[in-house]
Structures are given as C-alpha cells and as structure tokens.
Amino acid sequence: MEQVKLSQHTAILLEHARKEGITEEQLQQAVASRDAAVFQALENEDYEYGDLFTYAQEHGEKFEQALTDGYRMTFNTRNGLKIWLEEAFRLNSETDFVVGEGRIDGLHLTDAQLERLKQTLAVNWVVAAEIALATGGKEVSLCLKALA
C-alpha cells in the first residue's frame, strides 16, 4: 500500500492538535464528520484550522488514512520542517537542535522517533547522519537531498 501524502501545512496542523492534547479518537471523529469545531480552541495566528478539510479534499489528502496508517509529507521547507519537529516531537528549535542553511543538526531522537521521522520526511530531505548516543537513541542530522 502506498503511503498517504499530506502537505507540510496539514501535517503541522495535525501534529499541533496532537501536541495540544486532542486525542486520536477526537481527531478521527472530527475527520469522519468533517467538523473543525474540536480545533477551535487551538486556533491562533499561527494555527488556523478553518480550511483544513476543504484543503484536504481539494488536494486529495486522505486524512482518515493518515491518522491510522501514518503519512509522508509531500515537500519540506527548512522552516516548515523545524516547526513540524517542534510539534511532532515536542522539541524547541532554540535549545534542542540547530537549524542551518539547508541543514538541521544536533537533533536527539529516540529510535522510535527516528523511524517515524524517516517515514514522514518529504523526499527532498534526507537523514544525513545518525550517531548512537550513550544514553540511548541517536543524534541526527538532516539535510536537503540536493546537498547530500
């Protein structure tokens, strides 16, 4: 089965909802009923959910399947990937990793997080390095595929 593709924007909104405590059941119910009301409390100038379902439908995003089977982002910008990492893994870009030109370095992830990142990362970015940590997990560097 081909992996479901979501835009970076949709993926960030989904991970923000999870980070803010929306349960998988609530997400599934909202998607099934196409009701964005569950997201209203999460909205601010950076996270607007009003057109989430319309956008997903117009762009053929299989939101329900993405919730159950995971997804791959269609394209990542440096800043968008930074935000996705913050939302998906509850990290802080000012203290937990370094964002450079076409690179993200010093990212400490568990093995499960690294596997999820590899499955989710858009094809225009690659995992450039993985260094095992004495405390478990890995220190990871990402870079644009064109720079690899």
Which residues are CB-neighbours of 48 under 8 A, at least 6 positions away?
Answer: none
pLDDT of residue 2: 76
Of 133, 132, 109, 131, give the one whose Cα is nearest residue 121: 109
Alpha carbons 12 and 63: distance in angstroms, whole number: 13
84 has pLDDT over 70: yes
Ranking 14-18, 55-59, 86-90, 137-141 by mean pLDDT, the lowest is: 55-59
pLDDT tens digits for range 53-76: 999 889 999 999 999 999 999 999
Number of H helices, E strands in the chain: 6, 6
One-letter amino acid identity for 4? V
Name the pLDDT band for 17 (thresholds 50, 70, 90).
very high
What is the pLDDT averaged over residues 43-61?
90
1 has pLDDT over 80: no
pLDDT of residue 148: 84
Alpha carbons 50 and 40: distance in angstroms, whole number: 8
